[in-house]
Amino acid sequence: MKRLVVALVMLACSLLATPAAHADQTIGFPTFGGPAIPAPPTAYTPGDMMRTMYDAESSGTDFWMDRLLARTGNDPAGSWLMSRGRALFMKTHNPAVLGFGGHVAYWESVNDNNAYTVAITPGTFTEQVSQRRQTPSHWTSVHTGGSVTVSQTKFITDNNVAVTNLSIRNAGTAATTLQLRAASPYATTGGGSELTGQVNAYNNLTTLRPRLTGDGFTATGGQLVRSVTIAPGATATAKVVMGFVTDEIPASLTEYNAYAGYSNATAFATHVRAYNLWWAQNVPYIDVPEPAIKKNIYYRWWLMRFNNLDADIPGQTFQFPTSTEGVLGYNNAIALTQPMHIDDLKYLRDPSYAYGDWLSVGQVSKGGRFLDNPGDPENWSNSYTQYIAEAAWKSYQIHGGQPGIAASLAHYAEGDVKGQLAQYDHDNNKLIEYDWGAMTGNDADAVSFHWKPGNMDRAESAYQYSGALAAAQAYEATGNTTKATEMRTLAGQIKDAILNVLWNPNRQLFEHRLKSTNEWVPWKEINNYYPFSVGAVPDTATYKQALRLFADPAQYPVFPFYTANQTDKKAAADAGNPGSNNFSTINSTVQFRLYSSVLRNYPNTWMNATDYKKLLYWNTWAQYVGGNTQWPDANEFWADWNGSTVNYRSWIHHNILGSSNWTVIEDVAGLRPRGDAKVELSPINIGWSHFTVNNLRYRGADLSIVWDDPADGVQRYPGVPEGYSIYVNGNRAATVNSLVPFTWDPATGEVTTSGTVTYRTAVAGLRAPNQVVQSSPRMVDMLAKAGVDLTADLPNLASGAAVSASSTGSGTGVAGAVDGYPTNEPFWGAGGSPGGQDWYELNLGTARTLDEVRLYFKDSRPASAAYRAPAAYTVQYHNGSTWVNVPGQTRSPEVPRANYNVVRFPALGAQRIRILVTHASGARTGLTEVKVHRRGGAQPSAGPLAATAYTPTHR
Whether 2 shows a pLDDT value over 90: the answer reads: no
pLDDT for position 864: 85
CA distance 107 to 271: 21
pLDDT for position 330: 87
Q: Apex CA 530: angle with CA 527 and CA 532, to 5°?
A: 140
Whether pTM exceeds 0.75: yes
Written as one letter, the residue type at 447 is: V
Please compute Rg for the chain using Cα positions.
29
pLDDT for position 939: 46
CA distance 218 to 191: 7
pLDDT for position 947: 29
- CB-CB contact of 214 with 239 (8 Å): yes
pLDDT for position 951: 32
CA distance 625 to 500: 45
pLDDT for position 938: 60
206 CB-near residues (< 8 Å, 6+ apart): 106, 200, 246, 248, 311, 313, 314
Whether 311 shows a pLDDT value over 70: the answer reads: yes
pLDDT for position 121: 97
DSSP secondary structure letter of residue 159: T
Written as one letter, the residue type at 375 is: G
- Alpha carbon 325 to its chain centroid, in Å, reads 8
941 CB-near residues (< 8 Å, 6+ apart): 780, 784, 789, 790, 791, 792, 902
For 27: left if phi > 0, alpha if psi spans -120 to 50, otherwise beta; the answer is beta
CA distance 154 to 93: 12
Q: What pLDDT, in 10s, does the model give residues 641-676?
A: 998 999 999 999 999 999 999 999 999 999 999 999
Whether 593 shows a pLDDT value over 70: the answer reads: yes
pLDDT for position 488: 98
CA distance 225 to 238: 11
- CB-CB contact of 790 with 784 (8 Å): yes
Helix (H) or strand (E) holding 782: helix 777-785
pLDDT for position 3: 42
CA distance 508 to 524: 13
Q: Nearest 5°: phi and psi at 45?
A: -130, 140
In the beta sheet, which residues pair with residue 34? none
Count of C-beta atoms within a 10 Å radius of residue 890? 12
Q: Apex CA 517: angle with CA 513 and CA 519, to 5°?
A: 40
pLDDT for position 434: 92
Q: What pLDDT, in 10s, does the model give residues 682-707?
A: 999 999 999 999 999 999 999 999 99
pLDDT for position 386: 95
- CB-CB contact of 511 with 451 (8 Å): no
Half-sphere exposure of 14 (CA within 13 A, CB side): 16
Q: Apex CA 39: angle with CA 33 and CA 45, to 5°?
A: 135
pLDDT for position 955: 31
Residue whose C-alpha is closest to residue 894's, from 886, 884, 885, 904: 904
Whether 384 shows a pLDDT value over 70: the answer reads: yes
- CB-CB contact of 816 with 826 (8 Å): yes
Residue whose C-alpha is closest to residue 824's, from 795, 793, 787, 791: 787
CA distance 563 to 333: 22
Give SS3 for 103.
Answer: strand
Q: What pLDDT, in 10s, does the model give residues 909-921?
A: 999 999 999 999 9
- CB-CB contact of 897 with 944 (8 Å): yes
DSSP characters over 343-398: HHHTTSSSTHHHHHHHHHHHHTTTTSS----TT-GGG--------HHHHHHHHHHH
Q: Is the dihedral of CA 649, 653, 654, 655 positive or negative?
A: negative
Whether 112 shows a pLDDT value over 60: the answer reads: yes
In the beta sheet, which residues pair with residue 804? 841
Q: What pLDDT, in 10s, does the model give residues 41-50?
A: 999 999 999 9
Alpha carbon distance, N-terminus to C-terminus of the chain: 31
Residue whose C-alpha is closest to residue 84's, from 152, 140, 137, 141: 137
Whether 149 shows a pLDDT value over 70: the answer reads: yes
Whether 5 shows a pLDDT value over 50: the answer reads: no
CA 878 to each of CA 334, 529, 812, 929: distance values in angstroms, whole numbers, following the listed order: 46, 61, 25, 21
CA distance 770 to 764: 17
Q: What pLDDT, in 10s, does the model give residues 163-172?
A: 999 999 999 9
Average pLDDT of 321-345?
A: 94
937 CB-near residues (< 8 Å, 6+ apart): none
pLDDT for position 207: 98
Helix (H) or strand (E) holding 423: helix 403-424
Say which residue, 656 or 15, is predicted with more confidence.
Answer: 656
Could you tell me whether strands 223-230 and 690-698 are parallel, antiparallel, or unpaired per DSSP bridges?
unpaired
pLDDT for position 441: 62
pLDDT for position 616: 98
Helix (H) or strand (E) holding 860: none
Q: What pLDDT, in 10s, does the model give residues 471-527?
A: 999 999 999 999 999 999 999 999 999 999 999 999 999 999 999 999 999 999 999
Whether 594 shows a pLDDT value over 70: the answer reads: yes
pLDDT for position 155: 99
Burial class (CB in 10 A: 0-12, 13-18, 19+), 937: exposed
Q: What pLDDT, in 10s, does the model give residues 879-899?
A: 999 999 999 999 999 999 999
Share of the chain above pLDDT 90, in %: 92
Average pLDDT of 729-750?
A: 98
pLDDT for position 941: 39
Q: In which band, very low, low, confident or very high, does the pLDDT at 377 lie, cut at 50, 70 and 90?
A: confident
Mean pLDDT for the chain overall: 94
Q: What pLDDT, in 10s, does the model give residues 208-252?
A: 999 999 999 999 999 999 999 999 999 999 999 999 999 999 999
pLDDT for position 865: 83
Could you tell me whether strands 139-145 and 218-220 are parallel, antiparallel, or unpaired per DSSP bridges?
unpaired
pLDDT for position 425: 97
Q: Apex CA 337: angle with CA 335 and CA 338, to 5°?
A: 65
- Alpha carbon 83 to its chain centroid, in Å, reads 17
Whether 383 shows a pLDDT value over 60: the answer reads: yes
Q: In which band, very low, low, confident or very high, does the pLDDT at 863 lie, cut at 50, 70 and 90?
A: confident
Q: What torsion, rounded to 10 degrees, do the Cα atoms 501, 506, 511, 517 define?
A: -70
Whether 751 shows a pLDDT value over 60: the answer reads: yes
SS (H, E, C) 18-29: CCCCCCCCCCCC
pLDDT for position 25: 58
Omega before 834 within 30 of 0, i.e. cis: no
In the beta sheet, which residues pair with residue 583? 562, 638
Whether 307 shows a pLDDT value over 70: the answer reads: yes
Written as one letter, the residue type at 913 is: I
Burial class (CB in 10 A: 0-12, 13-18, 19+), 49: buried
CA distance 731 to 949: 37
Q: In which band, very low, low, confident or very high, does the pLDDT at 378 lie, cut at 50, 70 and 90?
A: confident
Long-range CB contacts for residues 476-484, cutoff 8 Å, separation at least 24: 476/675, 477/396, 477/403, 477/406, 477/410, 477/675, 477/769, 477/770, 478/403, 478/404, 478/406, 478/407, 478/410, 478/770, 479/403, 480/407, 480/410, 483/410, 483/414
Share of the chain above pLDDT 70, in %: 95
CA distance 68 to 78: 18
Polymer length in residues for the chain: 955
Half-sphere exposure of 711 (CA within 13 A, CB side): 7
- 711-729 per-residue burial string, b: 16 or more CB within 10 A, e: under 16: eeeeebbeebebbbbbbbb
Whether 260 shows a pLDDT value over 70: the answer reads: yes
CA distance 777 to 207: 25
Average pLDDT of 595-618?
A: 97
DSSP secondary structure letter of residue 520: B
DSSP secondary structure letter of residue 283: P
Average pLDDT of 723-751?
A: 98
Q: Nearest 5°: phi and psi at 207?
A: -105, 125
- CB-CB contact of 808 with 846 (8 Å): no
